[in-house]
């Protein structure tokens, strides 16, 4: 397995609580001490098999919420906040509408909170992070569930973002845009999250 995975788990406190040395952990996992360190010290990119070896050695379950290589077999994972973010990074910023709306559809279909649990990666542009936060908040409001803490963060955009760039629609977007978007200076129509 050669896929790479961005890690959003802090191992340091967990490792201290186990009182497990780097050498002992690496031996238990059957990997090199350098690979063990790479995984447990929060290296930005590690191989999935290395992560699984460490997790197995520590008797932890791993759920992968995103994968930058979309296939029909892992479509649901690619519809998480992490998954769609990496798909946008891979396909270019203009692809956000397709990938973000796939998240909307998958979340409404499954009602799986794991899809929206994690924040987008740091590499994603501020405006697309803000858009994703607005989408996640709107979905949570729709279902009357708590929004994940990362989505409540305010994002400072350099200028207001009108999703519909048509001048005649900007005034109605200001009035219709849900608070989840307006708070980050993003303006959308009332039917923004509806598929036609």
The per-residue pLDDT for range 86-131, each reduced to its tens digit, is: 899 989 999 999 999 999 999 999 888 888 988 888 889 999 999 9
Q: Is the pLDDT of residue 71 over 50?
A: no
The per-residue pLDDT for range 77-92, each reduced to its tens digit, is: 578 898 899 899 989 9
Task: Give residue 70's pLDDT.
Answer: 42
Nearest Cα neighbor of 154 from 117, 115, 180 is 180
Task: Give residue 10's pLDDT.
Answer: 52
Tokens of 93: 């910023």
Nearest Cα neighbor of 89 from 117, 42, 122, 64 is 122
Tokens of 41: 């010290």
Q: What percent of the chain has pLDDT over 90?
A: 31
Please, what is the end-to-end C-alpha distance for the chain in angstroms? 39
Instruction: Considering only residues 22 and 19, tell me which one the structure prediction assigns the higher pLDDT.
Output: 22
Instruction: Considering only residues 184 and 165, tell me which one the structure prediction assigns the higher pLDDT.
Output: 184
- State the pairing for strand pair 45-47/186-187: unpaired
Q: Is the pLDDT of residue 6 over 50?
A: no
Task: Report residue 41's pLDDT band, with 50, 70 and 90 as the boundaries.
Answer: confident
Instruction: Considering only residues 8 and 28, tell me which one the structure prediction assigns the higher pLDDT.
Output: 28
Q: Taking residues 4-26, what's their average pLDDT?
A: 66
Q: What are phi and psi of 84, to 5 degrees?
A: -65, -30
Q: Is the pLDDT of residue 73 over 80?
A: no
Task: Give residue 2's pLDDT.
Answer: 39
Candidates 3.40.50, 2.40.50, 3.30.2010, 1.10.260; CATH matching 4-57? 1.10.260
DSSP state of 93: G
Question: What residues does each domain of the chain span?
Answer: 4-57, 72-187
Task: Give residue 140's pLDDT.
Answer: 93
Helices (H), the chain: 12-18, 22-29, 33-40, 48-57, 75-78, 81-91, 96-110, 126-143, 167-176, 179-182
Residue 89, C-beta contacts closer than 8 angstroms, at least 6 positions apart: 68, 121, 123, 124
- pTM, full prediction: 0.64
Given a contact cutoff of 8 angstroms between Cβ atoms, the answer to whether 84 and 135 are in contact is no
Q: Is the pLDDT of residue 138 over 90?
A: yes
Task: Give residue 84's pLDDT.
Answer: 92
Given a contact cutoff of 8 angstroms between Cβ atoms, the answer to whether 75 and 115 are in contact is no
Q: What are phi and psi of 58, to 5 degrees?
A: -95, 5
Task: Report residue 67's pLDDT band, with 50, 70 and 90 as the boundaries.
Answer: very low
Task: Give residue 136's pLDDT.
Answer: 96
DSSP state of 45: E
């Amino acid at each position: 397995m050669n896929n790479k995975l961005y890690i959003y788990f802090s191992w340091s406190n967990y490792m201290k609580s186990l009182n497990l040395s780097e050498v002992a952990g690496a031996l238990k996992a059957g990997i090199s001490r350098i690979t063990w360190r790479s995984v447990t010290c929060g290296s930005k990119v590690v191989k999935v098999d290395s992560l699984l070896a460490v997790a197995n050695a520590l008797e932890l379950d791993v759920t992968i919420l995103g994968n930058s290589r979309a296939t029909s077999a892992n479509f649901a994972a690619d519809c998480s906040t992490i998954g769609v973010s990496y798909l946008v990074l891979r396909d270019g910023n203009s692809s956000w509408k397709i990938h973000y709306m796939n998240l909307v559809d998958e979340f409404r279909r499954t009602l799986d909170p794991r899809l929206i649990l994690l924040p987008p990666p740091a590499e994603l542009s501020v405006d697309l992070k803000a858009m994703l936060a607005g989408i996640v908040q709107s979905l949570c409001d729709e279902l009357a569930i708590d929004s994940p803490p990362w989505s409540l963060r305010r994002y400072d955009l350099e200028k207001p973002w009108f999703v519909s760039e048509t001048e005649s629609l900007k005034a109605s977007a200001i009035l219709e845009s849900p608070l989840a978007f307006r708070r980050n200076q993003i303006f959308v129509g009332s039917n923004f999250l509806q598929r036609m």
